[in-house]
Chains A and B, each alone.
Chain A
Amino acid sequence: MKHLLRVGLFFLLALMGWQALYLAKFWSPVLVPSPVSVGRYLYEAAIEGTLGDATLVTMRRLLLGYGFGIVLGLPLGLLTARFRIAKDTLGLVALGLQTLPSVCWVPLALLWFGQSETAMFFVVVMGTLWSMIIATDNGVRNVPPIYARAARTMGSSGLQLWLRVMLPASLPYIVSGMKQGWAFAWRSLMAAEIYVTILSGFGLGNLLHYGRELNAMDQVIGIMFVIIVIGLVADKILFSPGEKYLHRRWGTAK
């Protein structure tokens, strides 16, 4: 309780300091709005529905592309870990493309798919897929060989060995790959949304972009704030439970 109070106090003081600097006219109010006006923007946008709609549009794009990237990347990663030929072909492609910031796919996606949801989906998948393949491959390669040997003496082989031993044994790597994939996907989607307008739905990146066009700094900062909160929440809801579970099971908790 005391701890929470301290944490709350930190953020309250930060906000008060910001407001004080604003009132002291330290910066031009056009460039740095007051926390009060940012709060007012967020409140009004929430009431009006634009904020909720934009968040939904963004999250739908993100989850669709991310989910697809994970579901596709996992078996492909197992494939590159299992077969040398897959490693030297697909594995090499994955390694190369992973180094490409996924926002670089945006021009190509626009030419291929037009200003459509498909283009957004494509960019997010490109952000997720490669790091997922590499993490899975890496995870399997780091499984202590003794696990497979022990399993084989108990009659495990083939698909059963892969699903019941290799896959769970590489979970710690796979989860950190999923986390990295999430970060890449999230960044690439934001970049894509700021970069292009897609008429089928305005995401958070679009709102951010229009905030700049309208010189509405309260909107820009407000949306940035929302983006940060989504990132934090995703970490706490999506990854924290999984990581905690792994740390408990593997005994690697601090």
Chain B
Amino acid sequence: MSLQTNPRNEAPAKLSVQGVSKRYRTGGREVHALDNVSLEIGEGEFICLVGPSGCGKSTLLNIIAGLEVVDDGRLLTAGVPITGPGRDRMVMFQDAALFPWLDVMDNVLFGLKLKPGLSNTERIEVAQFYLQLVGLENFTKSYIHELSGGMKQRVALARALAPNPRVLLMDEPFAALDALTREQLYGDLQQIWQQHRKTIVFVTHNVREAVCLGDRVALFSPNPGRIREQFKIRLPRPRDISSIELARYAIDITAALKGEPRTAEEYAI
């Protein structure tokens, strides 16, 4: 299978978050992680959720992933309510969370083996396709601990893409990587997204990263977790994280994050 023959790509799905609230107790203290949060995410949109620690952005991602349940409100993917984890929504975590008892190939195959309607040969072909897509086709037999942090996240990306989800959820996947590797992955991720058109929800606390990747940036504020403001990023792709236009956006969003008056308002939604 060559890079051109994309294994039957699923259409990206619309995501709808309607009045979601979530509270939980930690250390005897009640945290109001999300307070009546609503968000419409379009088909194939790349949205970044930004905010300080504890603002509920990761909680929202986990809820969309089906790993946590809401206290109030509802969520729909392509019009269907979310009741639990599902193959239509795959997750990439900050810790690659690859399984050390499996080699690279078997890690990518893990989710594929749970997907019905594929023969084993097809599964291996699909896994090879995505490993090639992330540039690791020569590492199929490697042990996980032999990979660098960036390579691990590439495997995690291949693993998340392989079952062909309609939504990709990414929880600070590049936060633990060095700057150089990170910049390379920004480029790769944008390219893959443009080719394969997934709806992507990307959580980060790095404003520049959010501006570099997102079509839209949703700024969260904590206690209680709410969406404070949203920004449309109208920059051509592929974007370079060190460009001046990108920095302007980042400066303004950072100012909004700190609650300072902004210098330019034209792209606030």
Contact = CB atoms under 8 A, between A and B. Distances in A.
Interface of A: 144, 146-147, 149-156, 160, 164-165, 168-169, 171, 248-251
Given A146-B95, A168-B101, 15 more contacts: A146-B93, A149-B67, A150-B91, A150-B93, A151-B110, A152-B67, A153-B85, A154-B110, A155-B87, A155-B114, A165-B99, A168-B99, A171-B101, A250-B101, A251-B143
14 contacts: A149-B67, A149-B93, A150-B91, A153-B65, A153-B91, A154-B110, A154-B111, A154-B114, A155-B87, A171-B101, A248-B143, A250-B100, A250-B145, A251-B100
B89 interface: yes
A169 B66 CA distance: 23
A153 B66 contact: yes
B192 interface: no
Nearest to A145: B97
Given A153-B67, A153-B91, A155-B114, A147 B145 contact: no
Contacts of B93: 146, 149-150
Query: Interface majority SS on B: helix, strand, loop or mixed?
Result: loop
A34 to B, nearest CB: 51
B115 to A, nearest CB: 7
A249 B144 CA distance: 8
Interface in B63-100: 65-67, 85-87, 89-91, 93, 95, 97, 99-100
Contacts of A165: 99
Contact of B86 (A149, A155, A248): A155
Given A250-B145, A251-B143, A155 B100 contact: no
Interface in B87-133: 87, 89-91, 93, 95, 97, 99-101, 110-111, 114-115
